[in-house]
Structure 1
């Protein structure tokens, strides 16, 4: 559901909530359902941003809204409207212990910062416990008591998030992997302490516990499980903390200050204090502070930060301009028509948030399996203990009670999900580590599942398939002038200008004449220009080698007395119809030729398109440029004409993704501009080119740091391989459980062997994951 679908009756109002504690799709559903129980209230909850967009009818108070969230077990705060001071700190809403879903957040420790000290302490203490317990060379008389003391902070304070989550879940008659972690850690530690109390001589001498043939001590099992699971949660929380960075980066693009005219005087004010109707002064090189209409002046506006398109937009009186775009040349006066939350930049921010909300999170495979696995393990452990006592009959001896307890503990230890906890984070670490070496960033495990099913990929033209920089494509000369003369003279006069088109022409002129003698002027090898002047939005004029040279638009040439014949206009139309940006050149008062500029296709784009097709993807070209430009680029890289979407605005890119998704497609989107960010977030798989803006990168699921479209294909291949590795890790982790649990229940597997089997499954998972380090080495 989008905000456009929410009711907009006059008596309704819209509020924004900050919600703390949501960790999964069930949290989102719980909050939306709770809020929906209030008459007339409709809520759109955003999990990555931990917020909610709520439409509230008359008669419903803010207090009722926050109380309703409280009943779901989360913390809520009303976001202050724009320009209002922040309200009181977040209202605690977990008075009664919170929900079972909220327990997952507790286990995650809330933030990576909160988990970090627990992880550090656990790792520092687990290492000596492991060495003392597993290697006789490190053992000394009564080492068991030392291991118990060192492991105690790990299994209590460091593992506290798991224990607390298990308790909260139990209170709501629910169980998760945290339940097994907590029970397994407690059982392993408690069993070991019980062994020491039952036989204080057990570790008086190194190796005695093994020689005694007892049940053994398993302090290292409890400590290692806690440490590895904390590491996995730390990695997840660290990735989640960056979920809202796209919006922050987007809003930071806007100007911080604005210069307004007040009674004829220029006054600088913060941009967030602008009001509709204010007249803003924008000098060359400055950002336009808000959306408006040019009232005076002419210039070229660089809109690439917002539109992603490379060609500057010529503006003059009456032209609309967008906030956050850059004035490239002349001084402008702009009357503000939209400010604050109504600006294009703010609306794009809302598009990113809505797209992130609409993308359903993909549940982790381990979580899906654990929904059945955990209760079964708990039941098996209880049944094992009861069955042994039942078999023993009346008058159970101490030895029989110990055997029953040992078998039950063995079930919990063999089932304790150490390998399961390692399967995803270690596979992800290996895959992302190799990806980093290849210049590919994978945001998280959910991304891997997305790559498996993607069948369509939308490619933004500018900056993704093409370079995003203008270059001279061709030069047409009218007799008696030659093409070389036209380019050389135009390059000389354009070298004095700061306009991006002028830079491209001057660069082409220099490159086209490498044998020119170096000069001491600023032309960098081109003839000197004198009497130079320019008109923003028009063109340039100057004298080169004693000849008057003019370059620019049609009206600029006509204003300077250059007559254009029908044959000249025909040449211009032909150039523009082919998708080029055409610039007139006049010499000695007559038309000398036309210079055509075009965004260039990146080397390797055609091969990358071919690779994407071999991966089973359908490439579609998406651009805001006209159809002629798009068709030529598509033909150059091998994309069929029917798979070209041209003339698409930023909002239209999101619509294009949604249309393809509605048609049954699983859509990936590759782009690099701010205007691509909403579509990247809406797509099932967002891929940002690293040469693009921070906003595009933050909104994407995958980022390729290079400039080569071929890396997109490599990124998908690596992601699919990593997902396959993680799935095989999970298979082997559960295989050990499937084999080990029945053996343990029958009393044929004491906890020591169970611990060894669990450790072996962890080693197998890590070794399998490390195979990813060789990905792509043979390519």
Structure 2
């Protein structure tokens, strides 16, 4: 994020207004710096803040000198797009933008590949003689620059006329240098690599389009992490009011409401269980694959899955205080963290573009002035190649993209997996981490229960125990029932027909198999039914611990 400090000279703070906007089209730290400079030069703008991670800008200004319309128009004149900050983009809109930019990249990449093939077979290897090859390469270069890459021209001109040197300006210097060199070779200089210069123009423009697309993919996927997380929460909730159950939008639920959640539904709110017993999948919160048994008085978290019984929950937290909202906020914070190395990159980028232009100009002058001074005359071939090489090799988008996009992507990916970064330095130290201490084993499991061991009583076949348990669990909705069935299926066991079934929520199940009653459940419940584990109890405790 870049930020211009406030300058309130001659304007009291109470007169400041704020203009917030979503910005489309940014790709690296150069973009944030460009927008920052453009607004900072407007009379009446006091403070500018631009975030690449959030694709947002916040402008503080004097409304007597500047209007929101002018601020919006300035952004669009720079070649970026304005979006309403209050409107959340849909996945379809993201997909449409990715397809549009991806199509532009495919066209540019095709032009580049054709140019390289022409150069490879027609000039470098001299396998075939291609008629009018320089003109074919010129056509490809002009199409790449002025059709596919026209949006870059607009952004470069908008920056240049404001006196701002950035990656767009450097790209256009390189692209036009290639075109100029090619034309000099066609009409002025002899034995000049015309095709190389035209192909260079095509290549650098395509590389910029690739950088733009890569940045868009990373930022889009990272921002979608927040929306996927919030999508875990249902849009509506069944609220019990005045003795009646009504379905209301989730935003209308308030603390103190009583909400009913049926088996298989996502829990829409944070709250306390008032009535009912159920198993709840809280892997989102704890990382534990085992569902947690919930009884009256226990807390539940919005976004977790109610699996077996019906619950009535009293709402305790809503809106920004809810767990999912807090995690979404942490994801956003993680995406915008600024490790020390990124601050160094920002400092380097301030001087990078002018330095590249100085070196390119210097290379050109050395090969024109020095040979002339010694009596050999200007070496135009080397001069043009030196200048173009400096511009092409000095293209800065990779430098401006690498660190911030890695931070954005890393923060989003980590948060989706329940790892919340609390400081920018965390990204730097993770690479040198030698040991990690976990506070609970659930965070390093596969995320789903499986059968590890079958302990039968003396003289009983383990497969028979598993077959009876899986047959009884066929009608159960409990996730552990699926694990038992999967293990029986993996061993190729044929299950028995169930003639009666009863579920004891939070305790176990009772089923009748071939006339025999089979109970599967918690040890305490089995003991209450007069079915103690006896000698197996020690083995159970050993395996559990």
Name the TM tier (shorter chain): 0.5 to 0.7
The verdict on how the C-alpha distance between 1:131 and 1:14 changes in structure 2, with shifts beyond 3 A counting, is closer
- Tell me the equivalent position of 1:408: 383
Tell me the CA shift for residue 155 of structure 1.
Answer: 3.5
Distance 1:178 1:23 in 2: 11
Select the residue among 158, 166, 170 that pairs with 2:148: 158
Select the residue among 478, 489, 497 that pairs with 1:521: 497
The verdict on how the C-alpha distance between 1:19 and 1:521 changes in structure 2, with shifts beyond 3 A counting, is same
Tell me the CA shift for residue 347 of structure 1.
Answer: 1.4
1:586 lines up with 2:527 in the alignment:
yes
Moved more, 319-328 or 585-594: 585-594
- Tell me the equivalent position of 2:55: 50
SS in structure 1 of the partner of residue 526 of structure 2: strand
SS in structure 2 of the partner of residue 497 of structure 1: coil
> Is the 1:175–1:375 Cα contact (8 Å) retained in structure 2?
no
- Tell me the equivalent position of 1:182: 172
> Is the 1:45–1:53 Cα contact (8 Å) retained in structure 2?
yes
Distance 1:597 1:338 in 2: 39
SS in structure 1 of the partner of residue 174 of structure 2: helix
> Is the 1:471–1:598 Cα contact (8 Å) retained in structure 2?
no
Distance 1:14 1:538 in 2: 58
The verdict on how the C-alpha distance between 1:588 and 1:267 changes in structure 2, with shifts beyond 3 A counting, is closer
Distance 1:585 1:494 in 2: 15
Moved more, 328-337 or 231-240: 231-240
Tell me the CA shift for residue 349 of structure 1.
Answer: 0.8
Q: How does 1:613-632 map to 2 (within 5 A)?
A: none
Distance 1:320 1:60 in 2: 49
Tell me the CA shift for residue 404 of structure 1.
Answer: 5.5
Tell me the CA shift for residue 246 of structure 1.
Answer: 0.9
Tell me the CA shift for residue 239 of structure 1.
Answer: 2.7
1:250 lines up with 2:229 in the alignment:
yes
- Tell me the equivalent position of 1:18: 22
Tell me the TM-score normalized by structure 2.
0.66
Distance 2:314 2:74 in 1: 48
> Is the 1:132–1:139 Cα contact (8 Å) retained in structure 2?
no
CA RMSD of aligned residues (A): 5.5
Residues 206-230 of structure 1: CA deviation (Å, up to 9, x unaligned): xxxxxx6456553233223333443
- Tell me the equivalent position of 1:732: none
> Is the 1:177–1:417 Cα contact (8 Å) retained in structure 2?
no
SS in structure 2 of the partner of residue 243 of structure 1: helix
Q: How does 1:201-280 map to 2 (within 5 A)?
A: 213=191, 216=194, 218-280=197-259
Tell me the CA shift for residue 249 of structure 1.
Answer: 1.0
Distance 2:538 2:479 in 1: 14
- Tell me the equivalent position of 2:310: 331
The verdict on how the C-alpha distance between 1:456 and 1:69 changes in structure 2, with shifts beyond 3 A counting, is farther
Tell me the TM-score normalized by structure 1.
0.49
Distance 1:365 1:52 in 2: 20
Q: How does 1:151-550 map to 2 (within 5 A)?
A: 151-171=141-161, 173=163, 175-176=165-166, 178-198=168-188, 213=191, 216=194, 218-360=197-339, 362=342, 363=345, 370=352, 374-381=356-363, 383-384=365-366, 387=369, 391=373, 400=377, 403=378, 405-417=380-392, 453-456=431-434, 458=436, 465-470=444-449, 488=465, 491=469, 497-502=476-481, 518=494, 520-522=496-498, 530=500, 532-541=501-510
SS in structure 2 of the partner of residue 280 of structure 1: strand
Q: How does 1:588-603 map to 2 (within 5 A)?
A: 589=530, 591-593=532-534, 594=537
Tell me the CA shift for residue 247 of structure 1.
Answer: 0.3
SS in structure 1 of the partner of residue 527 of structure 2: strand
Unaligned runs of 5+ in 1: 2-12, 36-40, 87-109, 200-211, 394-398, 428-448, 523-528, 554-581, 601-628, 633-779
Tell me the CA shift for residue 411 of structure 1.
Answer: 1.5
The verdict on how the C-alpha distance between 1:405 and 1:118 changes in structure 2, with shifts beyond 3 A counting, is farther
Distance 1:44 1:307 in 2: 36
Q: How does 1:644-683 map to 2 (within 5 A)?
A: none
Distance 2:144 2:136 in 1: 13
Tell me the CA shift for residue 376 of structure 1.
Answer: 3.5
Tell me the matched-pair count. 480
Distance 1:339 1:325 in 2: 15
Tell me the CA shift for residue 122 of structure 1.
Answer: 3.3
> Is the 1:122–1:154 Cα contact (8 Å) retained in structure 2?
yes
